[in-house]
Amino acid sequence: MSELPIRPDAPWLAPLAGWSDLPFRLLCRELGAAVCCTEMVSAKGLVYGGRNTEELLATTSLEGDALEDGSSVCDHPLVVQIFGAEVEFMEQAVLILRHRGFSWFDVNMGCSVPKVTKTGAGAAMLRDVPGALRVAEAVIRAAGPGRVGFKIRLGWDEEHEVYLELARRLADLGAGWITLHPRHAVQGFSGRPRHSAVAELAHELSVPVIASGDLFTAADGVRTIRETGAASVMYARGALKNPAVFAEHGRLIAGGALEGDLPKGSGIACEEGRTLDAQHACDVLDDLPADSAALFAVIRRHAALARRYAPEHALLKMRTFVPRYVKNLDGARALRQEIVSCRSWDELDDILNRYLG
């Protein structure tokens, strides 16, 4: 089993409930995401075999899938994020996932949505460190040391910061990596993330630390790695707005951005076999609307992947994604209006053909 890349030049796609589905992950991978996380999956739902859970676990074969257009796609390495506060369900969930061929896992200790925290899961685990460690021990036992990461916040609130103690103990138990979104749970997404806490963890821990939080552009991500010593970063909302952020990240690092200024110069060549011209896409997305061809290629590719892998629900999601992608494009208002009300894939194709040529 190969190692999971956790390096500055290997940015991750964060878990994004409702968004980091198979088509979006494949799109991000073609644009340079080295590792992708699933949306969070309920351990209990997994053990009881809910239909929704199956959809969240949709992926390609390990070798990849050949598509009708002649391209091939591969959704690996993939990290399955699970949530739950009960030791038995969490352990059982990992055993089931392993049996089904999944190899890498992440435990959600950061989600602050009440639906999750009221069950004791997500960021509520920061309020019960001994309980969180019991879960961690069981999950690591089921997965194997080094195969589980933990995604945490600073603590529940300012008066109860636990990240340092918790992360140390998780590393001692055999965590493979720690991701820190350096806000308190009560903050949700408000205020600014305190990335100095990422630096503190990166300095203290023997396992890799991944930074998350307000990394909206590749320059944000690379600067955070440089200033904190984090092993890598996860792009979340930044990827939703611009999936070419991964290509730009690679380009900045290859151009020496970890040492000197953060240049915009050219860098990485596209990996062979990639369907999208990632290099071109990030140039263009940086500088809309000079040339929209690559942005349109991203949109078309996302639509094709969504139609292939999730035809039932993906159209609704595309109606949200596309307006976000074209937000900065001149004259995109009419396109946005048509997209948000389109009702079939054929209609979406028609609209894209009309606007994107």
Ligand X SMILES: Cc1cc2nc3c(=O)[nH]c(=O)nc-3n(C[C@H](O)[C@H](O)[C@H](O)COP(=O)(O)O)c2cc1C
According to CB under 6 A, which residues from 232 to 251 bind ligand X?
Answer: 236-238
According to CB under 6 A, which residues from 289 to 328 bind ligand X?
Answer: none
Q: Is 342 annotated in the active site?
A: no
Pick the stretch among 63-71, 133-141, 206-214, 241-249 that binds ligand X (CB under 6 A).
206-214
- Is 25 one of the binding residues for ligand X (CB under 6 A)? no
**Minimum distance from CB of 115 to ligand X (Å)?**
12
Active-site pick, 28, 111, 270, 342:
111
d(CA 277, CA 257): 22
Helix, strand or coil, per DSSP, at residue 161: strand
According to CB under 6 A, which residues from 60 to 99 bind ligand X?
Answer: 81
According to CB under 6 A, which residues from 100 to 129 bind ligand X?
Answer: 108, 110-111
* Buried-exposed string 194-216: b where 16+ CB fall within 10 A, e elsewhere: bbebbbbbbeebebbbbbbbbbe
- Is 228 one of the binding residues for ligand X (CB under 6 A)? no
**Minimum distance from CB of 347 to ligand X (Å)?**
26
Q: Which is nearer to ligand X, 37 or 352 (CB)?
A: 37
Q: At CA 155, angle to CA 133 and CA 105, rounded to 5? A: 45
Identity (one letter) of the amino acid at 275? Answer: T
CB 299 within 8 A of CB 273: no
Pick the binder of ligand X from 174, 213, 243, 255 (CB under 6 A). Answer: 213
**Minimum distance from CB of 355 to ligand X (Å)?**
27
Q: Which is nearer to ligand X, 64 or 120 (CB)?
A: 120
CB 295 within 8 A of CB 281: yes
**Minimum distance from CB of 210 to ligand X (Å)?**
10
d(CA 147, CA 199): 23
Pick the binder of ligand X from 46, 93, 139, 215 (CB under 6 A). Answer: 215
Neighbour tally for 144: CB within 10 Å: 15
CB 43 within 8 A of CB 92: yes
Helix, strand or coil, per DSSP, at residue 180: strand
Burial of 330 (0-12, 13-18, 19+ CB in 10 A): exposed
Q: Which is nearer to ligand X, 14 or 298 (CB)?
A: 14
Q: Which is nearer to ligand X, 143 or 335 (CB)?
A: 143
Q: Which is nearer to ligand X, 218 or 236 (CB)?
A: 236
C-alpha dihedral over 284, 287, 288, 293, to 10 degrees? Answer: -20
Q: Which is nearer to ligand X, 121 or 294 (CB)?
A: 121
**Minimum distance from CB of 38 to ligand X (Å)?**
8
Give catalytic residue positions.
111
Q: Return residues touching ligand X (CB under 6 A).
A: 14-19, 39-40, 81, 108, 110-111, 151, 181, 212-215, 236-238
